[in-house]
Amino acid sequence: MKLTFLGTGTSFGVPQLGCGCAVCHSRDPRDRRTRVGAAVETDDGGVILIDTPPELRLQLIQAGIDHVDAVLFTHDHADHTHGIDDLRAITARRDIHLPMYGSMPTLRSIAQKFNYIFDDNIKPLPGTSKPQGRAIDLQPGQTVRIAGVDVTAVAVPHGPITVFAYRIGPLAYVTDAKSLPDDAIALLKGARVLVINALFRVPHPSHLSLPEALDVAKKIGADRTYLTHLTHDNFHADLESELPPGVSPAFDGLTVTV
């Protein structure tokens, strides 16, 4: 299995619009972060997309990914969903609708914002196309088989809402979590690779801080942990140098064999 980090930044991205800080003007390409998303290529040759960030088209081109077998949505926030229309180029080459998984509240919200994608009564004009998705509701703790791998939805709090982390075979993917309850940690334990959000060094009302993320990583005990959803608070190289063994900051375009 191969994991590709399509984007590793927060909702602002890095560089942040209008910011004059040193990180936002860094020449290190690892300090340039698009909105967070990932792709998992399974051993059966399938591709599972995690979220559809606003830069999705550019991210997929950069990663050399030209087909997708399913989408897993973590939640409905704009930085995780507003690139969904870019899937038109994917679904135009498919004979069937693209499966899109998530919680019922997430799927309802996305379908309300992008109703044309899920409503078969809305038909494109002759000679044109539209993204075509099939919404599939997942329950917390439910495991489904997607592209030859078991995928389990794991509910975690994100401020006042609940988002889905995912266990994808030996991979645990957690983004936008504020904390991980014991039942979530139990579902993610045993993963060989952990991806987890780490926003600031200080507490935040809806995201794990760096110290909190490191504490969760210890509890899950993966062989390798990658930090994502990072801000312009740190140079990549500086953060990398201070992290404990087995923990690294991810960067856009990073690929990891799981």
Say if residue 122's pLDDT is above 90.
yes
The pLDDT, as a whole number, for residue 114 is 98
- Residue range 4-14: average pLDDT? 98
Cα distances (Å, whole numbers) of residue 19 to 23, 54, 184, 202, 239: 9, 20, 36, 20, 20
Confidence of residue 73 (pLDDT cuts 50, 70, 90): very high
- Residue range 156-164: average pLDDT? 96
Instruction: Please give the CATH architecture assigned to the domain spanning 2-257.
Output: 4-Layer Sandwich (3.60)
Confidence of residue 66 (pLDDT cuts 50, 70, 90): very high
The pLDDT, as a whole number, for residue 253 is 98
- Residue range 107-135: average pLDDT? 95
Say if residue 179's pLDDT is above 90.
yes
Say if residue 62's pLDDT is above 90.
yes
The residue extents of the domains of the chain are 2-257
Give me the chain's average pLDDT, please. 97
pLDDT digits (tens, 9 = 90+) for 187-238: 999 999 999 999 999 999 999 999 999 999 999 999 999 999 999 999 999 9
The pLDDT, as a whole number, for residue 141 is 97
- Write out the two tokens for 234: 């740190």
Say if residue 178's pLDDT is above 90.
yes
Closest CA to 40 of 3, 67, 6: 3
The pLDDT, as a whole number, for residue 198 is 97
Say if residue 95's pLDDT is above 90.
no
Distance CA 71, CA 17 (A): 29
pLDDT digits (tens, 9 = 90+) for 124-156: 999 999 999 999 999 999 999 999 999 999 999
The pLDDT, as a whole number, for residue 69 is 97
Say if residue 25's pLDDT is above 90.
yes
